[in-house]
Chains A and B, each alone.
Chain A
Amino acid sequence: MKTSIPVEERMSAGHLACQGCGATMSMRYALKGLGEKTVFVIPACCWTVLAGPAPKSALDLPVLHSPFASAAATATGVKAGLTARGDRETTVVAWAGDGGTFDIGLQALSGAADRNEDIIYVCYDNEAYMNTGVQRSGGTPEGAWTMSTPGKAGSARPKKDLDAIVLAHHPAYFATATPAYAEDMTRKFAKARTIKGFRFLRILSPCPPGWKTDPKDSAKVSRLAVQTGLFRLYEVENGRMRLNMPVANRKPVGEYLRLQGRFKGLSAEAEAAIQASVDKIWNEGKS
């Protein structure tokens, strides 16, 4: 039977994710692209819980749980250990949330990227500390409600430009992905696996309780992030950037924002400012 993504499932049902979890969809696609010779390092994040308590696991491959700050360092060690034992084939993946990447694990990430460690670092970015009840992270966009940024105006600070930080380390491969584009995500993981050196993927990962969306809308909101131009699907190889999904007729950002209760307090001016910033980025890309 022909399918648009590989049939093999390496993530089993029975995991502990909320209904409609984007991080779960992403894990499923990632494993389809990576194949079985893969080891995961997971720092404190939603997936620490979702994989299930020992001695049970929802993932059909070895997982090493690491402290919050040290996903990239732990993955570096696992890779070195495998190499010392003569295994050059197994792919080592650090799989962290935005809290463990933008904030708490940034130093270890920078170190591993700078040393060009032969690992894949994945940040599934749901734009807040969701596992502990929606606290603001460096990945939270301006204007979004979180438990630690109450009030109508939401988060006062713009989202940290993590892509620029990582790209400043000249990684061997860099890509963005989001679950609505399952084929694109699977392809990027399959490709990342074949490349040597430090590889990084950032996944925009819808979170129904944290974004205050209906669980049924997880693919839809992920798709709208791309169609409105707010989230760009792209890859960078050898310093060359390639836009995977050039959006000819961008939808208004309001279509993405209004699906999410976390942006309920956004003023018309704030929405116009978001639209203007998106327009600016795309117009710069044209020249």
Chain B
Amino acid sequence: MPLLDDDARSLPRVILSTRRMSENKTGNWRTMRPVIDRHICTGCQICWKYCPEACVKLTDKVPAIDMDFCKGCGICVEECPKRCVSFVPEASV
């Protein structure tokens, strides 16, 4: 593990985190998958705003959900004002 000591010898040795948790693909936690109906979606960004995984990506209009990380919590399904995000069992996808 990298340590903070070379650059600053007067400081105590501490373990440095140099890698990101984004290596940890949490998509396999999901049992239900959110699917946006792109014909109804108005691009209001509310699903992006509330996603606890920060895995809804903004685009010009219909947001793109990164299924590598989506845990399937359903907040986007519940909060979408157009009710255009359906929740489908992962097994059926």
Chain B residues with CB under 8 A of A25: 50, 52
Closest to A7 in B: B58
Chain A residues with CB under 8 A of B16: 54-55
Chain B residues with CB under 8 A of A218: 52, 73, 75
Q: B52, B55, B77: which has the most chain A beta carbons within 10 Å? A: B52
Q: What count of chain B residues pass the 8 Å CB interface test?
A: 36
Q: Looking at the assembled complex, report how far the CB atom of A232 sits from the nearest CB atom of chain B, in whole angstroms.
A: 22
Chain B residues with CB under 8 A of A179: 50
Q: What count of chain A residues pass the 8 Å CB interface test?
A: 37
Q: Looking at the assembled complex, report how far the CB atom of B86 sits from the nearest CB atom of chain A, in whole angstroms.
A: 13
Tell me if A's interface is mostly helix, strand, loop or mixed.
loop
Closest to B72 in A: A19
A56–B26 alpha-carbon span in the complex (Å): 15
* A interface residue numbers (CB < 8 A to B): 1, 3-5, 7, 9, 11-17, 19-22, 24-25, 28, 51-52, 54-58, 63, 179, 182, 214-220
In the bound complex, do residue A12 and residue B75 qualify as a contact, i.e. CB atoms below 8 Å apart?
Answer: no
A179–B19 alpha-carbon span in the complex (Å): 28
Chain B residues with CB under 8 A of A54: 1, 15-17
Chain B 1-37 interface mask (CB, 8 Å, partner A; 1/0) = 1100000000000011111111111100100000000
In the bound complex, do residue A19 and residue B50 qualify as a contact, i.e. CB atoms below 8 Å apart?
Answer: no
A25–B19 alpha-carbon span in the complex (Å): 22
Count A/B pairs, Cβ under 8 Å.
109
In the bound complex, do residue A3 and residue B58 qualify as a contact, i.e. CB atoms below 8 Å apart?
Answer: yes
Q: Known contacts A1-B58, A24-B52, A28-B52; is A12 also within 8 Å of B20 by CB? A: yes
Q: Looking at the assembled complex, report how far the CB atom of A274 sits from the nearest CB atom of chain B, in whole angstroms.
A: 25
In the bound complex, do residue A215 and residue B19 qualify as a contact, i.e. CB atoms below 8 Å apart?
Answer: no
Q: A14, A52, A215, A219: which has the most chain B beta carbons within 10 Å? A: A14
Q: Looking at the assembled complex, report how far the CB atom of B22 sits from the nearest CB atom of chain A, in whole angstroms.
A: 4
Chain A residues with CB under 8 A of B20: 12, 14, 56-58
Closest to A26 in B: B52
In the bound complex, do residue B78 and residue A216 qualify as a contact, i.e. CB atoms below 8 Å apart?
Answer: yes
In the bound complex, do residue B52 and residue A20 qualify as a contact, i.e. CB atoms below 8 Å apart?
Answer: yes
In the bound complex, do residue A14 and residue B24 qualify as a contact, i.e. CB atoms below 8 Å apart?
Answer: yes
